[in-house]
Amino acid sequence: MLSSTFTRLTNPASLASAAARRHALRAPLAVRNLATMSSATSLTKDPSRSSIGGASSYLSNVADFKIIESTLREGEQFANAFFSTEKKIEIAKALDEFGVEYLELTSPAASTQSYNDCRAIVDLNLNAKILTHVRCHMDDAKLAVQTGVDGLDVVIGTSSFLREFSHGKDMQYIIDTATEVIQYIKGEGLEVRFSSEDSFRSDIVDLLNLYRAVDKLGVNRVGIADTVGCASPDQVSELVRTLRGVVSCDIECHFHNDTGCAIANAYAALQNGATHVDTSVLGIGERNGIPSLGGFIARMYAADKEYVKSKYNLAKLRDIENIVADAVGVSVPFNNPITGYCAFTHKAGIHAKAILNNPSTYEILRPEDFGMTRYVAIGHRLTGWNAVKNRVEQLGLPLTDADCKKITNKIKNLADIRPLSLDDVDKLLRRYDEAKVDDSHHAILEGIDTPDQISQWQ
């Protein structure tokens, strides 16, 4: 329920040659840590391309990206999450109807039920490709292959923190093990993505040497992961652009939202050559999660509306979010992009007037494209007479502009005591209209001192 008074109201140019990119990007490769990279090493952006539209350079994939939807993997790591097999199937089907290209599932090595769930979702024969996320370990890879998935997302930590305090292996071990695992997966005819974990706190030279090695093995994608959410969009742009000059395969990105940059980082990654972005419904995941599917879609819609509309069944988004919110025991946030209850609510008088004339004045997203409804709040002290007039017209009342202005002044005065409900506003408008028959309408307004008087009318 709303708490106040509301009325309804191409693909970029081909990449330059790998050799040319490597030459242009040679300077950053000597830098030992990404955090110290200078912006002076950045490629010059094409001034003919608008950053508002998203295609900031010839590297941009803003109009050519794929979603790896990880609610059933990353989302299972959310503190409140427990998905039964039936719920996983419901979520998988809903995401498939929405149109995501990939569904990522929890490793079948995690538990017996995880293995069985993986097989159950594979057996649905969805349009989306089914991936599972596994450690860079032969036992995990062999078990995952048995489930019938389309591909494996292989990961191993590469930062000094994880190498010392997690798996305890050096870079040569990582390269050797990755080679063995990747060759096995490719030999089974499956897609393979190889990702470093904690990429943005990893040694940049070690990182790029690792990516070069796995790229030569023919992986479908390499992945970078901001595992602790420390990266900024500038750092993401720098690393992705550098990586784009080193590998020929696709680039997947996984961003955590600890510092609130996950969606901005995903967008920056696509602008600079990434091809795949990990999301989860409502952004659920480890700690405070990753880019929300809805938030990411909103960002990409603003960049290239027609492309996003052509790929995804946008009207399904609200249903998907409600399914997941109910499953993990949370509410859809009031300020959630697209589906939050006030996402398309306009309150200020100046805003309302412009919106009623042309919604594009204060909206970058069209609610109709998402199966949502626009609202104009009118029962408050900031209301304007144009919003009141719009409600009068919706009710079919023959009131003049002068009448609407007088009623607006009364609403504003009453709303200094408390906001009026839409029902209260409608009662006032109808009572005023009826009173015009015997010319007692002025007395109607003069006789009201509090909103409670209107609420008591029958």
Taking alpha carbons only, the member of 202, 95, 93 closest to residue 157 is: 202
Give me 314's structure tokens.
Answer: 């946008």
**Phi, psi values for residue 154, rounded to 5°:** -95, 135
**Phi, psi values for residue 405, rounded to 5°:** -70, -40
Neighbours of 401 (CB within 10 A): 11
Would you please indicate which residues are annotated as catalytic (active-site) residues?
351
Burial of 338 (0-12, 13-18, 19+ CB in 10 A): buried
How many angstroms separate the CA atoms of 198 and 155, rounded?
A: 10
How many angstroms separate the CA atoms of 334 and 140, rounded?
A: 40
Q: DSSP state, 74?
A: G
Strands 151-157 and 191-197: parallel
List, as own/partner pairs, every contact residues 277-280 make where C-beta atoms lie below 8 angstroms and the sequence separation is at least 24, other chains included.
Answer: 277/65, 277/66, 277/67, 277/68, 277/252, 277/253, 278/68, 278/69, 278/70, 278/74, 278/104, 278/252, 278/253, 278/254, 279/67, 279/68, 279/69, 279/70, 279/100, 280/69, 280/70, 280/71, 280/74, 280/75
Query: Which residues pair with residue 194 across a beta bridge?
Result: 154, 222
Q: Is residue 175 helix, strand or coil?
A: helix
Taking alpha carbons only, the member of 182, 124, 166 closest to residue 148 is: 124
How many angstroms separate the CA atoms of 177 and 204, rounded?
A: 20
